[in-house]
Amino acid sequence: MKIAEYAGHDATGLAELVAQKQVTPKELAQTAAQAIAAANPKVNAVVELYQDRIEGLDEKSLPDGPFKGVPFLIKDIGQHLDGRKFECGSRLMQGFVVEGDSHVGKLFKQAGLNIIGRSNAPEYSVAGTTENALYGNTSTPWREGYCAGGSTGGGAAAVASGMVPMAHGSDIGGSIRIPASFCGGVGLKPSRGRVSAGPRVEEGGWGLAMNLGQTKTIRDTAALLDAMAKPQVGDPFWIPKPEESYLSLIKRQPGKLKIAWSVDPVMDAPVDKEVAAAVERTAKLLQSHGHEVWEEAPEFDGEEASRKMLDVWFFGFAENLDAVGAKLGRKVGPDTLEPITLKIYEHSKGITPKRFLESHAAINTLRRKLGKLMAKCDVWISPTTAQVAEPNGLYNLGREGVSAEEYIVTADRPLQFTFQHNVMGTPAISLPLALHSNGLPIGVQLGANPAQEHILLQLAALLEQEMPWKDRVPPLHVTRGV
């Protein structure tokens, strides 16, 4: 299979070719490796290839799932694959090997995905940009040297550049949606509890984190959610799910919905005028389809939320780093952690259980304030990111002379619309619905009430038809010779 043909399909399309015996999983894996070799030198999205899943692939090892034989990348965050390296983009964890699959890893495999390698991520998923001292900086395929977003920047950039049709993503404060926005892809964060975080932990990130993927089409997103939304033994709770598959539900539209939209900043940072215009244009299009649409912003202090989230995100962080360092014979310090990560490590030491519980209570208060808007509407539309991608180096973890709190508040400003949905546990999706006049993609975010992913996917399928993005090809794409 030629690279151009490979990159022209989404994951569902490639799986159909495998099912029809027009191509073998091994041929797909070999083509994916060629695509990565072509684009990765400039994009730097992939940090490791698994040759046993490419040249050494045993096709009999692939289950008959919906994505049988489709090349896929696992994010370098989360212990998901038995016997594979997992380094969190950190020199402290260099060479760490996972023992046992997570439920996420197991479900990816059961879907038939051929996991051929590992994608880049910022150190410990801390930043909204994928830059690290271990593997270097990832670029959005739309402009070399510009931010791919984080923390799933490697996966999003790999998909947008045509290296793979789909990649793993995880999201504790926007880490699926932010890179989807900066790279011009599709990124859905499911509802809290939709995808199992087990068996090592009860809930990822104290309930704030969810796993799914980076895709380029809505049908891929829906089919992946069908494959991953399977409660596992011992999960703390199961949430409602439609009787029909998500893939079947996207073929028809929901009834009349109540849709609020806003572009008002929730932090001390402006929203780009073209980003705001894309949000308003999306709202008006949905209004033209008969939905009740109005402008309203939530009651939310983003800077206060960032400070409280710091104590929730990083409670126990220092103890965990000390433990993994001891296991690998390394000590936490400037030679093993980046400057900001080291500041967060020190900050974490001061987060007492009492302070953690107080911050958790404050997050609960914020969630209930946000819920007032969501109680009025079925969907809330906002920017995914307040700005389009900016040059790498502005928000990375290598900055000196900045406290943990100063960094989090500053770095969250371009990303100020995403972590509300982590606070609420609500599903949210970023769609590439516009291009900025500077040539960079604009992401528009749609959020719904808990367990209502199907509504988001139905609206997303409509927008995919009405505001299509499939023919947009970034400059750093495998079909352009990169």
Q: pLDDT category, 391, cuts 50, 70, 90?
A: very high
Q: Which residue has the tokens 């090349």?
A: 71
Taking residues 236-261, report their average pLDDT.
96
pLDDT at 180 over 90: yes
Alpha helices, H only, 114-244: 153-160, 177-183, 218-228
Residue with tokens 């089409």: 217
Average pLDDT in the 48-68 region?
97
Q: Average pLDDT, whole number, for the chain?
A: 97
Q: Give me the pLDDT at residue 481, please.
A: 81
Nearest CA among 385, 369, 442 for reference residue 418: 385
Exposed e or buried b for every residue in 212-239, given b needs 16+ CB within 10 A? bbbbbbbbbbbbbbbbbbbbbeebeeeb
DSSP at 355: H
Between the alpha carbon of residue 247 and those of residues 71, 214, 221, 223, 325, the distances in Å are: 20, 16, 8, 5, 43
- What's the pLDDT tens digit per position in 416-426? 999 999 999 99
Q: Which residues are catalytic?
A: 75, 151, 175
Kindly report, residue by residue over 75-119, the tens digit of the pLDDT.
999 999 999 999 999 999 999 999 999 999 999 999 999 999 999
What's the start-to-end Cα distance of the chain, in Å?
A: 19
Domain count, the chain: 1
CATH number of the domain at 45, please: 3.90.1300.10
Instruction: Label residue 461 by pLDDT band (50, 70, 90).
Output: very high
Give the range of the structural domain holding residue 251, as residue numbers without chain letter. Answer: 3-480
> How confident is the model at residue 56, as a pLDDT?
97
Q: What is the pLDDT of residue 482?
A: 78
pLDDT higher than 90, residue 128 = yes
Instruction: Please report which confidence band the pLDDT of residue 299 belongs to, taking 50, 70 and 90 as the band edges.
Output: very high
As a whole number of angstroms, the distance between CA 264 and CA 382 comes to 9
Under the banding of pLDDT at 50, 70 and 90, the label for residue 405 is: very high
